[in-house]
A and B are shown apart, each in its own frame.
Chain A
């Protein structure tokens, strides 16, 4: 709600901010401003309302439960990946890390390990992949895009080496991780909520969380402000790997089989799509866990809505892809509108200027 104009490129910065806050905006203007800031949420509500009216079945608990089960696995991984994107990095290896976590958990269960030990091993396997990513991207300073793209292929190979033949039949106890309910809510969805909440609290309530943004906005300035610009991204890579491992265990438990070759194929793209849909910019420095949640739900509900409407799989792919492009175009458009709104406030003549 503030004023002032963008800095000039002039050697001498001669602009002075016209001071203070703008007059209290009218409720209509406030609502408009909120809509402009959250365009995807608006689209989401409109879309769900439309599908619900047309089919009458999207908002049924049975249907929503399925949607949440699918979305949960994506959300668990999208949370740490979004934090990496905010810090100016990316993790493309999560699809294969999911596969590795899945087959590791499957192996442990089949050799008599308890479900908890299996989940622990899946987390460790994923974290190990994260450490490799982290060392290459933060210690050696290689491009995280290239490093994790390479790891995407390499880790897929490792998963297939661990389990050349598909595993299956893990028993009911382990299956609970994938399809079990607590108080009627699927366990994976509860885990996803926990992960999103933890990440959200970390990002907003701890100094290290704010440093994630600082690093993404201006790494050099962060370094000169005494921020540890290696350790924070390092830990985020490890977290992202561990989360993908956990997602692997959940997926395997749900499917009751672990085909190392197909498990989580294309999963990294779903994660990145959800993150981008949520409005988290690839350039870093902005975004929140609410954005991630909205992005994940939008993707899940869009696919589900198309299925309910009887759209075939091929057309669903076309629609999902176009939805991503459209969402980003809308986000860019509203960004422009927001800029204009701020500029108009800045140029209101009634504010007397004070010398800066």
Chain B
């Protein structure tokens, strides 16, 4: 066994991110690691890469047992982690990146550039990357950068290669090339831990698969004789996959949001309706246009032609302020960068917009603002329900509740709530609460909810209707009463195989 992980446990405050995880990866084996967001996959990766120290347990690699690794000892132990957000330095060229931190030198001072360059050529050949070693990394595509990272791992003679959702940002052609390379490395005897969402990749590449849920290993088997259905069952874990039957919405209700033949950069002829009280999922991969559509509706991106109507009234949206005035609000995908004012209090974060609406003659009315915070905090189960806490100190789920409360309260007048990836970075328990909040705002306040997601489980759990997006178009409109997780996974599958 090249790598043995035993009893790996990671505790963040009161929460267990990892609970006695055991994992074995043999030399020459591709071991797939599956699980929902927040299942603990990324924590395993961080323990391996030395990004965080486990609270208990051990990692044995090549006969040496470690209680904890730091980035340097992880590299020395032969572990190479290729993170989703690649860690190359844009301004340096390929050779410089390959040997960053392990430069070949004369007398420990002078770079031996010619030497390095020659080695770089051999490494690039090995990973099948056809670019000059003198190319600045910023000129490479994501797929090419990934290959440079793998070449870097090879130059360090890695025994375990960890790939974190490597195909997430790749074109189908690049994905296939990556799969070929993984097979090649496997043949060379390198152990590969392959973390992914995509079941097809698992079926195609993996020798063995481990599934995680809520920080535990719930399933681990060799792939011989395992079908995709088995994997879906293991990943979703029927227990909490059972969705509350959504209240059907009368199809004759006049829609709250009507989008008619919308054209915009990256979007092609999008038409859709969302009725009051309806929750609709926009489902598609990264790059399918789901986030772009939401941002275009919200005025963050320009519209070329077509119309958008709220409650039957056509609205012209040129910037977010226009959208908000028209009753269209967006909870953005990147909570920290686009949503929250980290050092300001959760009260202030909640009332930031309604402050202007409750004000009289330009003066704030603290009472009205407190009432908005108090009522939404109670309705959404915000914890702690204290308006003075800096919002950066709340958990992901509670931060998300604050952002929803910013748009959905007695004063805001929001008619259509758009959410991009509503449970990103939110743990399992909190995710159920967010779903509950969204169901509540749809049912009780009659809001039209349109959310974008690439997680089929989320769409199944939350949506009454699902619009499938591909290459900037809405290609399917599914009634979720008759659609399961597996069908959605199949839809992702067809996207990866260009017909």
Contacts and interface: CB of A to CB of B under 8 A. Distances in A.
A147 B12 CA distance: 46
Nearest to A217: B341
B7 to A, nearest CB: 18
Interface stretch (A9-17, A93-101, A157-165): A9-17
Contacts of A347: 13
B337 A220 contact: yes
A217 B342 contact: yes
B339 A221 contact: yes
Nearest to A223: B320
Given A12-B37, A17-B395, A207-B355, A220 B42 contact: no
A224 B343 contact: no
Given A14-B17, A224-B330, A4 B395 contact: yes
B352 A214 contact: yes
Given A4-B389, A13-B427, A225-B353, A210 B348 contact: yes
Interface stretch (B128-136, B155-163, B236-244, B356-364): B356-364
Nearest to A20: B384
Interface residues of B, number: 63
Given A285-B343, A353-B14, A224 B300 contact: yes
B14 A228 contact: no
Given A13-B426, A221-B338, A286-B343, A228 B321 contact: yes
Contacts of B325: 226
A220 B319 CA distance: 12
Interface in A174-226: 205-208, 210-211, 213-214, 217-218, 220-226
A254 to B, nearest CB: 35
Interface in B1-56: 12-17, 37-40, 42-43, 46, 52
A220 B338 contact: yes
B393 interface: yes
Interface in A1-55: 1-8, 10-21
B294 to A, nearest CB: 11
Interface residues of A, number: 47
B397 interface: yes
Nearest to A8: B12
Contacts of A310: none
A18 B355 CA distance: 29
Contact of B15 (A1, A2, A16, A224): A16
A14 B320 contact: no
A15 B395 contact: yes
A4 B43 contact: no
A111 interface: no
A2 B46 contact: no
Contact of B340 (A14, A20, A218, A286): A218
Contact of A17 (B394, B426, B429): B394
Contact of A5 (B13, B298, B321): B13
Contacts of B287: none
Interface in A290-305: none
Interface in A251-299: 285-286
Interface of B: 12-17, 37-40, 42-43, 46, 52, 215, 298, 300, 319-321, 323-325, 330, 332, 336-344, 348, 352-353, 355-356, 359, 362-364, 383-384, 386, 388-390, 392-399, 406, 425-427, 429-430
Given A17-B384, A355-B429, 4 more contacts: A4-B389, A11-B425, A208-B362, A356-B396
24 contacts: A2-B384, A2-B389, A4-B393, A5-B13, A13-B426, A13-B427, A14-B16, A14-B427, A16-B13, A20-B384, A206-B362, A213-B344, A217-B341, A221-B332, A223-B320, A225-B324, A226-B320, A285-B341, A286-B343, A353-B15, A355-B429, A356-B397, A356-B398, A356-B430
The 6 closest A-B pairs by CB, nearest first: A13-B396, A353-B14, A12-B38, A356-B395, A11-B42, A226-B321
